[in-house]
Amino acid sequence: MEIKYCSTRDKTNIVSPSMAILQGLAADGGLYVPQEFPDFDLDIKKLSKMSYQEVAFEVMSKFLSDFTEEELKDCIKKAYDAKFDTLQIAPIKKVGANYYLELFHGSTIAFKDMALSILPHLMITAAKKQKSNQEIVILTATSGDTGKAAMAGFSDVPGTKIIVFYPKKGVSPIQERQMLTQKGKNTYVVGITGNFDDAQTNVKKMFNNASLSEKLAQENLKFSSANSINIGRLVPQIAYYVYAYAQLVAKNQIQLGEKINFSVPTGNFGNILAGYYAKKIGLPINQFICASNKNNVLTDFFRSGTYNKKRPFFITNSPSMDILVSSNLERLIYHLTGEDASKTKSFMNDLVIKGEYTISEEMKVKLAGFYANYASEEETAQEIQTVFSENAYVLDPHTAVAGKVYRYYQEETQDTTKTVIVSTASPYKFPRAVIEAILGKSLPKETDFELVEQLHQKAHLSIPTAVTEIMDAQILHNTVVHSDEMQQEVERILNLN
Ligand SMILES: *Cc1c(COP(=O)(O)O)cnc(C)c1O
């Protein structure tokens, strides 16, 4: 079955999977979605005997139908290799009564590695298939984790350059250091004075700027995206939902066909949307628990049907979820409208012009598979402490948000369905928030690297190479610009005039 992708804002804008990956964002400003979902015979029994790489192939081959078996297997092999510190790639751990799907065993110790270790290979393969000889310029906004994971993936990849924008004051010191020490002649990291939403909005503007595209084309360059607006980010993520389910079957934790819940720490809505797509192809999922931090715009949306971005922006201890405009929600909205591109477009226009939109009652009914709530900073710290003292298991703050919100869900619904908490980062990426929560006191004098050592001693958890290798690595990037000057900076980097 051949799968094509169309834009959420124009159903007549139809492209092949490889073209969708190459473009990143549709020219009309919409996001590419599958025109129809692949016909799937999810043979869980068979999948439960497979390795991560094999499951990834089964799932991805259906969505990327213009990739040959050889091409896709080659991409998968290059992506999910010894960069991961476990052969299982995405191990699932039982802690207390819950299951944690650990997605942080890749080279940058956050779940972004699951998709970004394969995206560069998919993109280069896609470029070859499209016979494109233009150099690809990856333009990326990051709330902390995407930037490093994308640069690690694209560093020194021939035919590509990557430019990352991050909020100078909105990432953890370890996240910032990971980015600023990034090697590779084709990597550029730029801090901005605004927040993640400013970075993302201005990146999207550059994508949609026709005269800028023309200037690029004259230099034989072309933009693409490593953010989860690129369908090439979402498709690899569907695989770990299927793998998690198959592993629970393999370990006799659930019966074949038994429904399970997933609690997902959510920012740009990419991770949870991949789960929704897994459900669409038949994975037995009961509820998605959409967990937010104090930036709880999604909680309000799922409860009221109104998405309202006019609210204060908070910097929290779970910075990768500090987002007020969740890009991938546009894809869900499109599906909720019954695949109506003009309605979707008008909601998105309202969001830009009025700062809000309200979905219809009919659409709201279709949100029944989602429960949403949020955890404050104190509640997040409390969750880290509780799980550590009860189970000697250390959560990073993002995962703790998902754990806490799952407790609220259980209290409210008494639902006893088995639940997987999606673990998105290693605690070592956020040592301050984690050790302060465990010890119940603030440690203002210690540097993050000293806190890494304290965490190591307290938790008896080995320190990942991703952290030790940046401790005394040289800072290679130091540019900071105003968020209004991002385009000028891109033009300067690319020598466009
Ligand atoms: C990016 C990120 C999230 C949010 O994921 P989305 O796909 O943007 O919803 C959560 N936790 C961590 C650690 C992340 O890096």
Other CB atoms within a 10 A radius of the CB of residue 418 amount to 15
Predicted local distance difference test score (pLDDT) of residue 305: 98
Q: Check if 112 has its Cβ closer than 6 Å to any atom of ligand 1.
A: yes
| Residue (of 229, 238, 380, 361) closest to 296 by Cα position | 380
Q: pLDDT of 126-141, one tens digit each?
A: 999 999 889 999 999 9
Q: Check if 275 has its Cβ closer than 6 Å to any atom of ligand 1.
A: no
**Rounded distance between C-alpha atoms, residue 327 and residue 298, angstroms:** 11
**Rounded distance between C-alpha atoms, residue 175 and residue 180, angstroms:** 9
Examine the pLDDT at 217 and tell me if it is beyond 80. Answer: yes
Q: Check if 425 has its Cβ closer than 6 Å to any atom of ligand 1.
A: yes
Rounded to 5°, angle at Cα 394 from 444 and 288: 115
Distance 429 CA to ligand 1 centre (A): 13
Predicted local distance difference test score (pLDDT) of residue 396: 98
With the C-alpha atoms ordered 277, 47, 96, 412, is the resulting torsion angle positive or negative?
A: positive
- CB 143 within 8 Å of CB 321: yes
CA dihedral 169, 175, 180, 181 (to 10 degrees): 160
Predicted local distance difference test score (pLDDT) of residue 109: 95
Examine the pLDDT at 152 and tell me if it is beyond 80. Answer: yes
What global pTM score does this model have? Answer: 0.95
Q: Check if 269 has its Cβ closer than 6 Å to any atom of ligand 1.
A: yes
- Return the biggest CA–CA distance within the chain: 62
- CB 151 within 8 Å of CB 128: no
Q: Which of 102, 196, 316, 320 to mutate to test the pocket of ligand 1 (most atoms within 8 A of CB)?
A: 320
Q: What is the atom index within ligand 1 of the atom nearest the CA of 399?
A: 11
- Please give the DSSP secondary-structure letter assigned to residue 194: S
Exposure string of 207-236, with b = 16+ CB inside 10 Å and e = fewer, is beeeebbeebeeeebbbbbbbbbbbbbbbb
Predicted local distance difference test score (pLDDT) of residue 40: 85
**Rounded distance between C-alpha atoms, residue 298 and residue 303, angstroms:** 8
Amino acid at 248: L
Distance 291 CA to ligand 1 centre (A): 11
- CB 402 within 8 Å of CB 289: yes
Q: What is the atom index within ligand 1 of the atom nearest the CA of 274?
A: 7
- CB 406 within 8 Å of CB 419: yes
Q: Check if 270 has its Cβ closer than 6 Å to any atom of ligand 1.
A: yes
Q: Check if 268 has its Cβ closer than 6 Å to any atom of ligand 1.
A: yes
Examine the pLDDT at 497 and tell me if it is beyond 80. Answer: no
Q: pLDDT of 317-363, one tens digit each?
A: 999 999 999 999 999 999 999 999 999 999 999 999 999 999 999 99
Q: Which of 100, 108, 145 to mutate to test the pocket of ligand 1 (most atoms within 8 A of CB)?
A: 145
Mean pLDDT of 286-293: 98
Predicted local distance difference test score (pLDDT) of residue 6: 98
**Rounded distance between C-alpha atoms, residue 368 and residue 305, angstroms:** 12
Q: What is the atom index within ligand 1 of the atom nearest the CA of 271?
A: 7
- CB 350 within 8 Å of CB 304: no
**Rounded distance between C-alpha atoms, residue 22 and residue 124, angstroms:** 8
Q: How many CA atoms lie within 13 A of 258 on its CB side?
A: 14
Distances from the Cα of 77 to the Cα of 56, 80, 228, 237, angstroms: 10, 6, 22, 16
Per-residue pLDDT band at 12 (split at 50, 70, 90): very high
Distance 272 CA to ligand 1 centre (A): 9
**Which residue CA neighbors atom 14 of ligand 1 most closely?**
320
What percent of the chain shows pLDDT beyond 90?
A: 96
What percent of the chain shows pLDDT beyond 70?
A: 100
Per-residue pLDDT band at 373 (split at 50, 70, 90): very high
**Domain range annotation of the chain:** 92-109+232-464
Examine the pLDDT at 144 and tell me if it is beyond 90. Answer: no
Question: Which DSSP string corresponds to 83-128?
Answer: TSSSTTSS-EEEETTEEEEE---STTSBTHHHHHTTHHHHHHHHHH
User: 92-109+232-464 has which CATH code?
Assistant: 3.40.50.1100
Distance 6 CA to ligand 1 centre (A): 25
Examine the pLDDT at 421 and tell me if it is beyond 90. Answer: yes
> At 377, is the secondary structure helix, strand, or coil?
helix
Q: Check if 140 has its Cβ closer than 6 Å to any atom of ligand 1.
A: no
Mean pLDDT of 163-176: 94
Distance 110 CA to ligand 1 centre (A): 8
**Rounded distance between C-alpha atoms, residue 235 and residue 440, angstroms:** 40
Per-residue pLDDT band at 1 (split at 50, 70, 90): confident
Q: Check if 373 has its Cβ closer than 6 Å to any atom of ligand 1.
A: no
Q: pLDDT of 382-401, one tens digit each?
A: 999 999 999 999 999 999 99
- Mean pLDDT over all residues of the chain? 96
| Residue (of 222, 319, 323) closest to 268 by Cα position | 323
| Residue (of 181, 184, 193) closest to 477 by Cα position | 181
Task: Please list the residues that pair with 461 across neighbouring strands.
Answer: none
Predicted local distance difference test score (pLDDT) of residue 143: 87
Q: Check if 145 has its Cβ closer than 6 Å to any atom of ligand 1.
A: yes
3-class DSSP string for 411-430: HHHCCCCCEEEEECECHHHC
Predicted local distance difference test score (pLDDT) of residue 472: 87
Mean pLDDT of 236-259: 98
Distance 134 CA to ligand 1 centre (A): 31
**Rounded distance between C-alpha atoms, residue 232 and residue 263, angstroms:** 23
Q: pLDDT of 26-82, one tens digit each?
A: 999 999 999 999 988 899 999 999 999 999 999 999 999 999 999 999 999 999 999
Examine the pLDDT at 405 and tell me if it is beyond 80. Answer: yes
